[in-house]
Amino acid sequence: MAFIPHTDQEVREMLGAIGVDAIEALFDEIPADLRAAPLAGIPPAATEMQIGRLMSERAARDGRALNFIGAGAYEHHIPAAVWAIATRGEFYSAYTPYQAEASQGTLQTIYEYQSMIAALTGMEVSNASLYDGASALAEACLMAVRANRRAKTPRILMPRAVNPAYRRCAAAIAGPQQLLFESVDFDHESGRTAPDALESWGGADIAALVIQQPNFFGSIEEAGRLTDWAHAHGALVVAVVNPTSLALISSPNEWGQRGADIVVGEGQPLGVPLSAGGPYFGFMATRMEYVRQMPGRIAGRTLDLDGRPGYTLTLQAREQHIRRGRATSNICTNQGLVMTAATIYLALLGATGLERVAAAACARTEELVARLARIDGVRPAFSAPRFHEALLRFDRPVGPLVDALARLGIAAGYDAARDYPELGHTLLVCATETKTAEDVLRYASALEALR
């Protein structure tokens, strides 16, 4: 009877008030031939102690790796206060703030979150978050097609240097609405999307160009030149950015003459544990002129009956519960709790703290790359400046090396050969501020010993 509080006496009283003699009678409208048999495939109930022991054993079996994988999810230190507060019951067990007066905590947190994302990205407005970075890119592509009224064709230029999982996700989500995703190659020497590669699309009708910064390889794109090219050709710019990097490198509003138009990204680096892939959150920011094309929830500040400030969800007429089939998206939730954690994280770090994290991650990755490149048969694949991730080229398949290092408790990196076979044997590695010089040495020594 886990979590059901009723006593037998109460059940009798309640049935009496309803006017039936057994709970089963309450199901009398369900045709008898549809009744389910006992659920043989479900184990009998376990107590919290029993399931706790099982989970602890399984967790212990998995252990904690020394992690050097990035590829879209990044290990950062998370201040203890972040989740201690985010998991307070008042945040954890609240619903979407539809009753604004009873949800001022969540709503003000959203407003502060929107303000922080706008500040980080340099954009005018932000929504209250989307599911994750990849699905946020899909939504951004759909939004760009709605917002770019000049373009008659829903064509999106999608560089191959964009995270392959993001490209697949965007195609799966936006594909049914007939968006055309066109591939743009990268320069194999620098690891950047070359503005020249765009020229073959010069005469085409394009709704938007996607620019990931830093790109999947960790390389820093010439975002200004790419942005200006897009705007000169009537296309909007959808930026996919790493939020930690924005403490150091140009924010999307600074790209080129006019800056990016829609900015999305994976929020996970901002205080969210790796958690095997989720829950994370996607952020989205844009210019005020496109605010009505933006999907998802938005909180706004307003006044109450007495003229005091307060917060409420606004622009809801764009959303599914009102506009139904003509909504901007079918999305209902934001990732409220995860967004709350990120807001607390950014409050604790501030611009200074985030700069330090970014600089440390950048420096630690340079150390890792320098150290691994001293191993025979290992070298950086690209020459462009990078943030906190690098693609390494090996003289042999990396799969067996990754497996061997896993047995030593080291998550060595992401084997990129499947996504970029033309680059040969490649491994994408990342070292954040959580890694020490000893960690780097341990990785390098283990890899060297395998050769």
Partner 1 sequence: MKDVGEYDGAGEATIFDRSRPGRTATAQLAPETLASLPPELRRRRRPELPEVSELQAVRHYTRLSQKNFSIDTQFYPLGSCTMKYNPRGSNHYAMLPEFLSRHPLAPVSMGQGLLACLYELQQMLCEVTGMEGVSLTPMAGAQGEFAGVAMIRAFHRARGDAARNEIIVPEAAHGTNPATATMCGMKVVEIPCNPDGDCDLEALRRAVGVNTAGVMLTNPSTLGVFERSISEIAAIARQAGALLYYDGANLNAILGKVRPGDMGFDVMHMNLHKTFSTPHGGGGPGAGAVGVGRRLLPYLPVPIVGRDATGYVWLDERDLPETIGRLSAFMGNVGVLLRAYIYMRMIGRDGMRRVAEYAVLNANYLLARLRRAGFEAAYPDRRASHEFILTLKREAAERGVTAMDFAKRLLDFGQHAPTVYFPQLVPECLLIEPTETEAKETLDGFVAAMTAILAETVTDPERVKTAPHRLPVRRLDDVRAAKHLDLVWKRPPGGDS
Partner 2 sequence: MASNIPTDLRYTRSHEWVRKNADGTVTIGVTDHAQHALGDVVFVETPQAGRVLAAGEACAVVESVKAASDVYAPVAGTVVAANGVLADAPERVNSDPYGDGWLWCLAPGEDAAATALLAPAEYETLVAGGG
Q: Which of residues 246-285 bind partner 1 (CB under 8 A)?
A: 246-251, 254, 266, 273-281
How far apart are alpha carbons 91 and 274 in whole angstroms? Answer: 21
Region 363-382 residues binding partner 1, contact defined as CB under 8 A: 363, 366
CB of 1 to partner 1, least distance (A): 6
**Tokens at 35, concatenated:** 């009744």
Q: Which of 358, 378, 382 is nearest to 368 (CA)?
A: 378
Residue 327 within binding range of partner 1, rule CB under 8 A? yes
Residue 4 within binding range of partner 1, rule CB under 8 A? yes
Q: Which is nearer to partner 2, 282 or 295 (CB)?
A: 295
What, of partner 1, partner 2, none, does residue 288 touch, CB below 5 to 8 Å by kind? partner 1
Q: Which is nearer to partner 2, 292 or 301 (CB)?
A: 292
Which one of residues 194, 235, 237, 357 is an interface residue with partner 1 (CB under 8 A)?
A: 357
Region 204-233 residues binding partner 1, contact defined as CB under 8 A: 220
Q: Which is nearer to partner 2, 70 or 97 (CB)?
A: 97
Residues found near partner 2 in the complex (CB under 8 A)? 292, 314, 316-318, 322-323, 326
**Tokens at 40, concatenated:** 């043989």
Residue 88 within binding range of partner 1, rule CB under 8 A? yes
* CA 370 vs CA 342, 367, 380, 409: distances in Å: 32, 5, 9, 22
How far apart are alpha carbons 381 and 317 in whole angstroms? Answer: 49
How far apart are alpha carbons 200 and 184 in whole angstroms? Answer: 9
Give the count of alpha carbons within 13 A of 279, CB side only: 14
CB of 292 to partner 2, least distance (A): 7
How far apart are alpha carbons 195 and 157 in whole angstroms? Answer: 12
Q: Which is nearer to partner 2, 316 or 434 (CB)?
A: 316
How far apart are alpha carbons 332 and 447 in whole angstroms? Answer: 46
Instruction: Please measure the distance between the N-terminal and C-terminal CA atoms of the chain and give it in whole angstroms.
Output: 58
Residue 35 within binding range of partner 1, rule CB under 8 A? yes
How far apart are alpha carbons 270 and 120 in whole angstroms? Answer: 12
CB of 223 to partner 1, least distance (A): 9
Residue 324 within binding range of partner 1, rule CB under 8 A? yes
Q: Which is nearer to partner 2, 149 or 407 (CB)?
A: 149
**Tokens at 272, concatenated:** 């969210």
Pairing of strands 66-67, 410-411: parallel
Residue 65 within binding range of partner 1, rule CB under 8 A? yes
Q: Which is nearer to partner 2, 292 or 396 (CB)?
A: 292
